[in-house]
Amino acid sequence: MSPSIKIYVPRDAAALSVGANRVATALANEAKKRGQAVEIIRNGSRGMLWLEPLVEVETAKGRVAFGPVAPKDVASLFEANFLTGSAHPLNLGLTEEIPFFKNQERLTFARVGVIDPLSVDDYIAHGGFVGLKKAVTMTGAAIVQEVADSGLRGRGGAGFPTGIKWKTVLGAEADQKYIVCNADEGDSGTFADRMLMEGDPYTLIEGMAIAGVAVGATKGFIYLRSEYPHAYQTLLEAIRTARAARWLGPAIGGSSYAFDLEVRLGAGAYICGEETSLLESLEGKRAIVRAKPPLPALKGLFGKPTIVNNVMSLATIPWIMANGAKAYADFGMGRSRGTLPIQLAGNIKQGGLIEKAFGVRLREIIQTYGGGTHSGRSFRAVQVGGPLGAYFPESLLDTPMDYEAMAAKKGLLGHGGMVVFDDTVDLAQQARFAFEFCAKESCGKCTPCRIGATRGVETMDKVIAGDTSKLALIDDLCHLMTDASLCAMGGLTPVPVMSAMTHFPDDFNRAPKRMTPENLAAE
Amino acid sequence: MTVPNGQNNAEWHKKGVGLMSWDDAVASSIVNEYKHLAGATLPILHALQENFGYVDKRAVPLIADALNMSKAEIFGAITFYHDFRHEPAGQTVVKLCRAEACQSMGCESLVTHLKDAHGVEINATTPDGRLTVETVYCLGNCALGPAALINGALVGRVDEEVLDAVCKGQSHDRMAG
Ligand SMILES: Cc1cc2nc3c(=O)[nH]c(=O)nc-3n(C[C@H](O)[C@H](O)[C@H](O)COP(=O)(O)O)c2cc1C
Ligand code: SF4
Ligand code: FES
């Protein structure tokens, strides 16, 4: 029998959603039929999602990619001798030479799609646990300083400096502190947290353990949205294997530090991504937003000092500890240091995960990486930063992806999601949806958000029906919600609404169809 | 019973498929299994829904007792979260994403198709108890939309063909992951 050849078929949920399991089964069956020894490794996704299922074969020259592969292609792949990386219509060449992939700066995602996500050995062979091993030899203050020097800002949306948050928790006196990972990833158009948890879960575990060592916390929780059943399974398994290998438990990595983790599932409420709402939910209550102060850093989970950080923030810590704060801060622009995992989604030809240094322009992402719309129609709008982010037109596409530059254009970066729309989109409908979403997902604590969003839906219905005199009311409502809401749910819902009105006024000024003479005649 | 920890993917999120009808004794044993956890409410509610496909109102006093919380607090928690059903689900559960990225790929026309071609209403269970279609906002599959979770399997590029099969109770290989 010929020697065993390694084939990679992703287990990432996006790859599964277009048939990766069926492809893996077909490959195994065909190999068996032909007496060819293969080792099928279920890796994470490389993030080129339009090419999924992306099958890779390990060759002497490197990993060669084939995609998108359907089960019916499998026989012809073997026929063409694809295990040697030979020519075939689906052959994409060396994975790491595909321009979409090659031109990224992958730090946080360095291992995603490369390794077997659940193999501790593979993780270590690719530089895993180097950061933690270093951290356990340092003082808490020195670790916190390293994080501060890296310039890392929270990737959950608000961009708050991670080092400052950690310093507050480090300085708090308490018998118990907690590390909470915000894995609620509620923003539509985002999936970086999911891909990392499914593709390299030990990085998140390592990042949380380093946070624990830094501030003196022995217990962590990952609050995961229930819409991610695959990530849930991967995390449960990763925590089990990490514990067995003693990277979690009473003496992590053979050090004198203890740290352990639990995953908890959310229950379909967007507001649970807001950190205080998340803490209420973890405590088993209705997830009503808490007023701040007190800060969660001082009085967080069960009233104890708590770090709440996004998955991306925590998963970037191991890289920073292993390579140094300066190496990280060397990427980026202005006050946005390092890299941003950008998620390109919606009506886009080549969607996926693109990790780039801050400062890349929206246009480059949509055109060079994305290759235009999926429908082939012309581009009309991109919503950046989730449901609370702005809709930008073509004329704003030269805005660099940087916290301050986006804010200067009355938009936000959020969690780095970009949702592209073609010219069939109606921005008045999108503005209406922004209010509707807020009305559905509001925690209900404050009137401007709870009532304001409902009024917003009703008023937009009138605007859409042709009563443009109501636009002034929308404007007033937006000001009220911006100024008087307790949290960013109500406070930022006006961002998509106002950006849609500002940049796409035509969509808000349509005479109602029924009123035109032609339509009246037709009726 | 090992829910929600240790279940396999195929079983997860079915929440309705051939499940047992509500039984206070079984519910009590589930509550007891999880009540030691810090902040046990959500783990208990998930486990109950996993087992029965919904959370019956008879769960309220059971949980309140076990966690030493008021019935109002437990009732409040159950009603706050969109996930928890108050009545049994259909044999097949479709969670259809209707957030922005899937809107840009036409998920709303799928909602219209379900109604026009099959008389299937969204956020409801068909009268014959076979199918429940629910709205969700984002499944993290936003580059391959429209997306849906069909009996726990994530499906990308959902189209009328897939939904037609679901509505007719047929299997479709794209539903298998
Ligand atoms: C309505 C709302 C939803 C949010 N959703 C999320 C989320 O899904 N994931 C997340 O990490 N942060 C979310 N945030 C931000 C968190 O409140 C918090 O800033 C973050 O978890 C802090 O971590 P970071 O500093 O690492 O970003 C949300 C905030 C608001 C107001
Ligand atoms: S703004 Fe909305 S979500 Fe935030 S606290 Fe007020 S009611 Fe709750
Ligand atoms: S918006 Fe539909 S999967 Fe994310």
Chain B residue nearest residue A194, CA to CA? B140
**Distance between B149 CA and the closest CA of chain A, angstroms:** 9
Mean residue pLDDT across chain A:
96
User: Of A20-24, A423-427, A485-489, A512-516, which gets the smallest average pLDDT?
Assistant: A512-516
How deeply is A42 buried, as exposed, middle or buried, from its count of CB atoms within 10 A (0-12, 13-18, 19+)? middle
Q: Does residue B17 carry a pLDDT above 70?
A: no
Q: At what angle do helices A427-441 and A447-464 cross, to 10 degrees?
A: 150
Contact B71, A158 (CB under 8 A): no
Q: What is the pTM of this model?
A: 0.95
Q: Does residue B10 carry a pLDDT above 50?
A: no
By Cβ distance, the residue of B13, B81, B84 closest to A229 is B13
Show the tokens assigned to B22. Answer: 């509500």
For a mutational test of ligand 2's pocket, the pick from A489, A493, A495, i.e. the residue with the most ligand atoms closer than 8 A to its C-beta, is A489
Note the pLDDT of residue B14: 44
The torsion defined by the Cα of A224, A225, A231 and A235, in degrees rounded to 10, comes to: 20
Q: Which tens digit of pLDDT belongs to each residue from A246-293?
A: 999 999 999 999 999 999 999 999 999 999 999 999 999 999 999 999
Note the pLDDT of residue B12: 40
Distance CA B61, CA B66 (A): 8
What confidence category does residue B19 fall into, taking pLDDT thresholds of 50, 70 and 90?
A: confident
What confidence category does residue A521 fall into, taking pLDDT thresholds of 50, 70 and 90?
A: low
Give mean pLDDT, residues A406-414.
97
Q: Which tens digit of pLDDT belongs to each residue from A361-387?
A: 999 999 999 999 999 999 999 999 999
Give the type of residue at A5.
Answer: I
Instruction: Kindly list the residues from chain A whose CB atom is less than 8 angstroms away from the CB atom of residue B102.
Output: 188
Distance CA A138, CA A107 (A): 23
Q: Does residue B6 carry a pLDDT above 50?
A: no
Distance CA A122, CA A112 (A): 12
**Distance between B94 CA and the closest CA of chain A, angstroms:** 12
What confidence category does residue A513 fall into, taking pLDDT thresholds of 50, 70 and 90?
A: low
Q: Which tens digit of pLDDT belongs to each residue from A138-149?
A: 999 999 999 999
Contact A392, A382 (CB under 8 A): yes
Q: Does residue B1 carry a pLDDT above 70?
A: no
Among residues B145, B140, B141, B119, the alpha carbon closest in space to that of B130 is found at B119
What is the CA B87 to chain-centroid distance, rounded?
A: 11
Task: For residue A181, give the 3-state DSSP assignment.
Answer: strand
Show the tokens assigned to B17. Answer: 């498929």
Which positions ≥6 away from A83 have C-beta within 8 Å?
A: A5, A7, A36, A38, A57
What confidence category does residue B7 fall into, taking pLDDT thresholds of 50, 70 and 90?
A: very low
Q: Does residue A1 carry a pLDDT above 60?
A: no
By Cβ distance, the residue of A18, A265, A422 closest to B144 is A18
With tokens 């035109």, the residue in question is: A516
Cis previous bond, B4, omega within 30: yes
Q: Which tens digit of pLDDT belongs to each residue from A81-120?
A: 999 999 999 999 999 999 999 999 999 999 999 999 999 9
Distance CA A67, CA A89 (A): 9
Give the type of residue at A238.
Answer: A
Contact A257, A212 (CB under 8 A): yes
By 3-state DSSP, what share of chain B in percent is helix, strand and coil, each rounded to 5?
A: 40, 10, 50
Sheet holding A219-224, edge to edge: A260-265, A219-224, A178-183, A306-310
Q: Does residue A300 carry a pLDDT above 90?
A: yes
Q: Which tens digit of pLDDT belongs to each residue from A31-41?
A: 999 999 999 99
Q: Which tens digit of pLDDT belongs to each residue from A193-236?
A: 999 999 999 999 999 999 999 999 999 999 999 999 999 999 99
Q: Which residues pair with A7 in a beta bridge?
A: A40, A57
Distance CA A332, CA A402 (A): 8
Look at B101 and A188 and tell me if their CB atoms are within 8 Å: yes
Note the pLDDT of residue A410: 97
What confidence category does residue B18 fall into, taking pLDDT thresholds of 50, 70 and 90?
A: low
Q: Which tens digit of pLDDT belongs to each residue from B140-171?
A: 999 999 999 999 999 999 999 999 999 999 88
Distance CA A517, CA A519 (A): 5
Kind and range of the H or E run holding B51: helix B41-52
Q: Which tens digit of pLDDT belongs to each residue from B44-101?
A: 999 999 999 999 999 999 999 999 999 999 999 999 999 999 999 999 999 999 999 9
ipTM of the complex in this document: 0.95
How deeply is A79 buried, as exposed, middle or buried, from its count of CB atoms within 10 A (0-12, 13-18, 19+)? exposed
Which positions ≥6 away from B23 have C-beta within 8 Å?
A: none
DSSP letter assigned to residue A486: S
Looking at all shown ligands, the one closest to residue A159's CA atom is 1
Name residues contacting ligand 2 (CB within 6 A). A 271, 289, 442-446, 449-450, 485-487, 489-490
Look at B138 and A351 and tell me if their CB atoms are within 8 Å: no
For a mutational test of ligand 1's pocket, the pick from A153, A160, A182, i.e. the residue with the most ligand atoms closer than 8 A to its C-beta, is A182
Give mean pLDDT, residues A176-185.
98
Show the tokens assigned to B122. Answer: 């969204």
The Cβ-side half-sphere exposure at A169, using a 13 Å CA radius, reads 32
Q: Is A435 on the interface with B (CB under 8 A)?
A: no
Show the tokens assigned to A222. Answer: 């990952």
Distance CA A67, CA A353 (A): 17
Give the type of residue at A349.
Answer: K
Cis previous bond, A99, omega within 30: no
Note the pLDDT of residue B13: 42
Which positions ≥6 away from A152 have C-beta within 8 Å?
A: A161, A162, A163, A313, A316, A317, A320, A328, A337, A338
Q: Which of residues 24-43 of B touch A (CB under 8 A)?
A: 38-43
Largest CA-CA distance found in chain A, in angstroms, rounded? 83
Taken in order of first residue, the domains within chain A and their CATH numbers are: 5-102 (3.40.30.10), 120-329 (3.40.50.11540), 332-422 (3.10.20.600), 427-507 (1.20.1440.230)
Looking at all shown ligands, the one closest to residue B135's CA atom is 3
Distance CA A96, CA A314 (A): 26
Q: Which tens digit of pLDDT belongs to each residue from A71-89?
A: 999 999 999 999 999 999 9
Number of other CB atoms surrounding residue A445 within 10 Å: 18
Distance CA A414, CA A338 (A): 15
- The Å distance, Cα A137 to ligand 1 centre, comes to 31
Distance CA A254, CA A249 (A): 10
Give mean pLDDT, residues A143-161.
97
How deeply is A169 buried, as exposed, middle or buried, from its count of CB atoms within 10 A (0-12, 13-18, 19+)? buried
Note the pLDDT of residue B172: 85
Chain B residue nearest residue A424, CA to CA? B104
Q: Is A500 on the interface with B (CB under 8 A)?
A: no
**Which ligand 3 atom sits nearest the alpha carbon of residue B107?**
2
What confidence category does residue B8 fall into, taking pLDDT thresholds of 50, 70 and 90?
A: very low
Looking at all shown ligands, the one closest to residue A345's CA atom is 3
Distance CA B156, CA B145 (A): 6
With tokens 């599964």, the residue in question is: A16
Look at A433 and B77 and tell me if their CB atoms are within 8 Å: no
Q: Is B138 on the interface with A (CB under 8 A)?
A: yes
Q: Does residue A62 carry a pLDDT above 50?
A: yes
Distance CA A169, CA A162 (A): 11
Q: Does residue A515 carry a pLDDT above 70?
A: no
Contact A198, A47 (CB under 8 A): no
Does residue A487 have its Cβ closer than 6 Å to ligand 1?
yes
Q: Which of residues 462-481 of A touch B (CB under 8 A)?
A: none
Phi-psi region of B32 (alpha: psi -120 to 50; beta: other; left: phi over 0): alpha
By Cβ distance, the residue of A21, A352, A419 closest to B176 is A21
How deeply is B1 buried, as exposed, middle or buried, from its count of CB atoms within 10 A (0-12, 13-18, 19+)? exposed
Look at A284 and B100 and tell me if their CB atoms are within 8 Å: no
Note the pLDDT of residue B177: 63
Q: Does residue A421 carry a pLDDT above 80?
A: yes
